[in-house]
Amino acid sequence: MIDADTAKTSSQSLDAKIPPGPIAQKWDTWLDAHRMIGPGNRPGRKVIVIGTGLAGASASASLAALGYDVQVFCFQDSSRRAHSIAAQGGINAAKDFANEGDSVRRLFTDTIKGGDFRSREANVWRLAQLSANIIDQAVAQGVPFNREYGGGLATRSFGGVLVQRTFYARGQTGQQLLLGAYSALQAQVGLKRATVHNRHEMLDVVLVDGVARGIIARNLVTGAIERHAADAVVLASGGYSNVFYLSTNAMGSNVTATWKAHKRGALFANPCYTQIHPTCIPQTGDYQSKLTLMSESLRNDGRVWVPRDPDEKRGPKDIPEADRYYFLEERYPAFGNLVPRDIASRAAKAVCDEGLGVGLIKRGVYLDFSEAINRLGKATVAGRYGNLFDMYRRITDDDPYEVPMMIYPAPHYTMGGLWVDYELQTTVPGLFAIGEANFSDHGANRLGASAMMQCLADGYFVAPRTVTNYMSNTADDVSTSDSAFDATEDAVQERIDAMMNVGGTTAAQSFHRELGNVMLEKCGMSRDADGLSEALTEIGEIRERFWTDLRVDGKPDELNPSLEYAGRVADFFELAELMCLDALRREESCGGHFREEYQTPEGEALRDDEHFAKVTAWEYSEGENAVPIAHDEPLHYENITLATRSYK
């Protein structure tokens, strides 16, 4: 078992390759100096992209449009079924259509502050700078954003900001943006510049002389193990919230691609930074395998409250205003119901811990739209949130137009991921990570409507330039007959054989549920040293039982969901240990990482900027009792002043 006392710290510094000069000019400075490849030479360069969500689809379409040979892999039966399609509320951009005085600097400041001052300044500024381009790109593709009566694009607010900068398509913004990126990708497929490999799962990265030159993938329909070579590999495989078992992520979402890259030398940064979303349908029983997100956009017009009396028996419509506790509005009057997600989630948990929760198991709070319906009219509310209301009614059989929704926090997003430099390249040359697969932009807490912004900024505008810059220096072709492919495929096959040969009696899902319970209880919304140490012990015990009592049905050389699931759960065990270790080492509270020992008298997060204003990127160590090695990247703030977050 690994623990914080035995973890090693490296003295080696990490080079983020941040360009010199004023922050507002860094990206342009980089663009002016980056190396290019002539159009005639591009078809001979091959790029592998893993994942077809917003980041992967946009990067694939853009790289193929430049003329590269792009090979795209996804485990879904269609590239348009990536989890990005479930994103709901909107996408941020500093276009100031609401005429409020918004700007790139304000978006930059809100994002740094929302992340509790734990993100890299240069990357966040570039994100804010590119945000306006994303909206223009999406509109040109025909994405049906909501519009005002006069025809202009409509915007609304999201948590942690005081302006309306979020563009939206009702409650299905992710779906519409993904359809735009998917259409762009399919256009390149039609031009034979891109090839999409559906129902394929990447199981390892192939390194030739320390450089990423391909992947080993499993055809999920036939079970065949395949080799694919390339000049560069881009991981856009999403986050790892399913380590908690119950989350808002699609059930197939997993950490396997990024974890395999980590084990091949890519550092994994800030794995303890996970986001618990405050606006989800509460769990109703142990039988559940997934939780459902209700968009943060609902908190624009919905008011969050609980009864003041813990013994309240009346229905929500019968409880008068005087007996309602609007806890977010009372605790945070400046932002009210639109405080950042980490704050809203902890506040909801706190009132439930005080016995004020609602629902069968008293782990819920009300989200009430009655005031908005009276003020705006039912038609206006339906125009903003109609599909979300319909979804809620289908799941719960309650009509939110008539009675308040019931919500509770749930695991949703992960700010940690593979460490990347300014060019989105990992510590493995030729291996890039974009979107939620990397750590770079959101610090310890992501603001709402910023995930889609990062995915599309990385995919449409950053990765096509940085991958080009990298490939301009690579000229040697590599063959899948190279001995590195032999060794990597052998390792993949050995792992598959190990799982198939356990011969136990317990399905992977049972172990996954056990792991999720431990992680949610001891490395979830709040953590402490004792609980994290206990979690490391318990994870090790469950993991040992996994490898002695796992049951995998079927055969490896056929369609076998049982084998797929087992492999993903095996990787979650290893990740979970690193998450707990990272949380133990970070002796402060910041954003979504809330250590009970480090909080203000008011119960807010207490940072330690002297010791922890840094990124911790972990190096994998091979061997059963090997200890991960921590590499620290100091965070320097020259364009914003470190301060205690306040939303009151």
- Residues annotated as part of the active site: 341
Contact 36, 467 (CB under 8 A): no
Cα(179)–Cα(579) distance, rounded to whole angstroms? 34
Residue 245: helix, strand or coil by DSSP? coil
Sequence letter at residue 636: H
C-alpha distances (whole Å) from 263 to each of 63, 394, 621 are: 27, 42, 8
Q: How many CA atoms lie within 13 A of 36 on its CB side?
A: 9
Cα(594)–Cα(583) distance, rounded to whole angstroms? 9
Cα(466)–Cα(423) distance, rounded to whole angstroms? 5
Contact 397, 403 (CB under 8 A): no
- Report phi then psi at 137, rounded to 5: -60, -45
Residue 416: helix, strand or coil by DSSP? coil
C-alpha distances (whole Å) from 620 to each of 209, 530, 583 are: 18, 24, 17
Contact 639, 121 (CB under 8 A): yes
Cα(106)–Cα(597) distance, rounded to whole angstroms? 32
Q: How many helices (H) and strands (E) does the chain have?
A: 17, 23
Looking up tokens 């329909």 gives 221
CA 222 to mean position of chain CA atoms? 30
- Report phi then psi at 289, rounded to 5: -120, 0
> 605-624 b/e with 16+ CB inside 10 Å = b?
bbbebeebbbbbbbbbeeee
Tokens of 532: 């994290």
How deeply is 38 buried, as exposed, middle or buried, from its count of CB atoms within 10 A (0-12, 13-18, 19+)?
exposed
Tokens of 155: 């915007």
